[in-house]
Structure 1
Amino acid sequence: MIVFRYLSRELLVTLSAVSAVLLVIIMSGRFIKYLAQAAQGLLDPSVLFLIMGFRLPGFLQLILPLGLFLGILLAYGRLYLDSEMTVLSATGMSQRRLLVYSLAPAALVAALVGWLSLGLAPQGIAEVDRLLNQQDSLTEFDTLVPGRFQSLRNGTRVTYTRELSEDRTELAGVFISETNLSSATGEERGLSVLVAESGRQEVQPDGSRYLILSNGYRYDGNPGQANYRAIQYDTYGVLLPKPEVSIELSEREALPTSELFGSDDIRLQTELQWRLSLPLLVFVVTLLAVPLSKVNPRQGRFLKLLPAILLYMTYLALLIAARGAMDKGRIPVAVGLWAVHGLFLAIGLLMLFWEPLQLQRRKRRARAEVAHA
């Protein structure tokens, strides 16, 4: 029991550290992407942290199996390097017993991953989808940030305001630049620039919104040419476009797991197998990692790390490929993702029993040579 607690503590501590690093890396990249969209006025900055929070279960369900895999390699590799595992082997610790000890923390991780993949992750994606639907009702006026140029419509429209009231109803010091495109060819046909002392939002009965500018000028022309036209106005209305939020989400990923059971839709059956595969992935990678963690102290603890990571990436890539093939009906549902799990389960069992089988073969050969002599 003392050895079990020691190994479990080493494994869980390493797992937590590795998973935390991976989570920070992945979430930082996603947050930068969402932050760029907020800076362009495509997202309301106030919902950024909500979106990241709701996407967190989806990140963790993929990070935790990899964190456990790397945790076993690093934690047990250190024990082999420090000859602690040699001492444990002398007291009867075999690879199979080490695997049994490792399956206990792996079961905790699998339970957590199952909770995330079957429950929290779909709920989080549904909440993100709800937030994005709310963003679709926003206009340029709602996401405007004072003192910042915001690019919309793929960079063909740039808006700026010097001041914005707290209730977001009044603007001061307005600048709008828009590139005029041909409806037939999409080619640029000049530039229109609007400047105004103030502006306000006005909602029409059909739901469209306009920015009503007061006391300003409109300039039309082509950059580099002297044929600009200047118009002074007292009141001018500008239609406010809706931001186009580009966050890739799948409708089936937001469905509760209970709705996937018993469905005849191949896409929904594929989604169900994917969600069930993630907890199963935890046990298979544990089986793979235990024999791969055994290293020679003279070779260093990182010798097998790169081949092990490549093996894990191959495993995950085959799961994703099988998922895509199931969506297109190229793989029967009965085979599905289970064939990939079965393949790597067989690889893990082969690695686990290969060394004992080789040892028994050498012993039989030695006994045969002694008997023959």
Structure 2
Amino acid sequence: MILFRYLSREIFTSTFAVSLTLLVIVMSGRLVKYLAEAAAGDLSPDVLLSIMLFRVPSFLELVLPLGLFIGILLAYGRLYVDSEMTVMSACGLSVSRLAAYTLAPACCLALLVGYISLYVSPAGIAKVNGIFDSLEASSGLESVVSGRFRVDQKSGRVTYVKSFTNDKKLMKEVFTADPHISDDGRVQHHVILAEQGYIDIPEQYDARYLVMENGRRYEGQPGESDFQITEFAQYGQRLKERQVRKRRSERADALPLATLIESNHLRDQAALQWRISLAILVPIISLIALALSKTTHRQGRYVKMLPAFLIYIIYIVALNAARDAVEKGDLPLSWGMWWVHLVFLAMAIVLLYGGNWWRSLRAPKVGRP
């Protein structure tokens, strides 16, 4: 029991350190992407924190298995280099018992990964997709940053607001420019300059209006002198609600577990197998890491890192390929991703016991006198 607690502590310590490092790297890369979108005016800065928090579970379900894999390689590699594993073997610690000691914390982590992938991560993805859906279906003013021009790539609308009030409800010095095609096929621009503006939602209308006060409206074609200039004290412009072509909330990764189980769609069944596979992946890669962690003081603890990473990458790529094949109907649903786990489980067993089997086969047989 003392040995089990010692090995478990080494595994969990290394796994926590590696997983935390990987999580920071992954979140930093995604945050940079979102910040670039916010700087370009495609994403509201107010929702960045919410998006990152809701994406943490989906990051963890991928980071934790890799963190355990690297953690076992580092922890057991140190034990082999420091000859502690040699002492344990001399005291009667067999490969099978060491595998059992390794599988115990791996199964605990597999339960955690399974809970995250089956319940927590889909709920977080659904929240994030809901945020993106609302931004995509909105007028685009929610993502306007004061002091910067915001260009809507779909409609060509250009919006500029110099500043906002503290409650974000009133805009100061508003500029909008909308291209329109006239009846004769020419492109005309409607440019509005106003001292202030705000969003109004009348109770009697199911629509939103951008109300601007104390300004001018210019209508005409660039390069020509036939401009129409209108001064106004108050001007209301209806904001078109853009329809989302395919709602992200309906994607398989965001659907709850009960919906996937009841669905007969291949896409949903593939997503269900993928979520379960993330939990099954954990104990199998722990056995592979155990087999590849064996080293000597002369070789060092990092000598097998490269082949270990290659095996892990091939494992993940094979699962993704199997998921795509199931979604397209090229692979029977009964096979699904299970055959990938069986192949790598067989690989883990061969890596663990193959050397002993080979030595037993080559050992000379001594006959009885």
Give the TM bin, normalised by the shorter chain.
0.7 to 0.9
Which AA in structure 2 matches 1:286? S
2:197 matched residue in structure 1 = 199
Confirm or deny: 8 A CA contact 1:42 1:244 kept in the other structure: no
Letter in 1 for 2:282: V
| Structure 2 counterpart SS, 1:261 | helix
In structure 2, the gaps of 5 or more residues are none
* Map of 1:360 onto structure 2: 360
Aligned to 2:277: 277
The CA deviation string for residues 294-341 of structure 1, in whole angstroms up to 9 with x for no partner, is 112212222210111011110110101100100111111111110111
TM-score normalised by length of structure 2? 0.86
The 3-state SS of whatever aligns with 1:364 is: coil
Give yes or no for contact 1:141–1:201 (8 Å, CA) kept in 2: no
Corresponding residue for residue 233 of structure 1: 230
Q: Residue 142 of structure 1 aligns to a residue in which SS?
A: helix
Q: CA deviation at 1:48?
A: 2.0
Q: Does the Cα contact within 8 Å between 1:197 and 1:216 map onto a contact in 2?
A: no
Equivalent residue, structure 1, for 2:21 = 21
- TM-superposed deviation, 1:145: 2.7
SS in 1 for 2:334: coil
1:124-172 superposed Cα distances (whole Å, 9 cap, x missing partner): 2222233334434532333333223323226944322122233444322
Secondary structure of 1:199's match? strand
Listed as ranges, the gaps of 5+ residues in structure 1 are none
Taking only the aligned residue pairs, the percentage that are identical comes to 42
Distance 1:200 1:257, change over 3 A: closer
Give CA deviations for 1:265-302 in whole Å, capped at 9, x if unaligned.
32222222111111110011011111111112212222
Q: Which moved more, 1:9-18 or 1:51-60?
A: 51-60
What secondary structure is seen at the aligned counterpart in 1 of 2:199? strand
Secondary structure of 1:50's partner?
helix
Q: Name the CA distance, whole Å, in 2 between partners of 1:182 and 1:110.
A: 62
Tell me which residue corresponds to 1:258: 258
Cα offsets for 1:65-102 (capped at 9, x unmatched): 11111111111111112222222222122332221110
Work out the CA distance in 2 between the residues paired with 1:137 and 1:84.
61
8 A Cα contact 1:192 1:220, kept in partner? yes
Query: What SS does the aligned partner of 2:143 have?
Result: coil
Pairing of 1:105-254 with structure 2 (within 5 A): 105-136=105-136, 138-153=138-153, 156-177=156-177, 194-203=192-201, 205-212=205-212, 214-216=214-216, 218=218, 227=224, 232-235=229-232, 238=237, 240=239, 251-254=251-254
Instruction: Tell me which amino acid in the other structure corresponds to 1:257.
Output: L
- Measure the CA separation in 1 of the matches of 2:296 and 2:154: 56
**Stretch moving more, 174-183 or 128-137:** 174-183
CA RMSD of aligned residues (A): 3.2
Secondary structure of 1:260's aligned partner: helix
Residue in structure 2 matched with residue 346 of structure 1 by the alignment: 346
Q: Distance in 1 between matches of 2:348 and 2:178?
A: 61
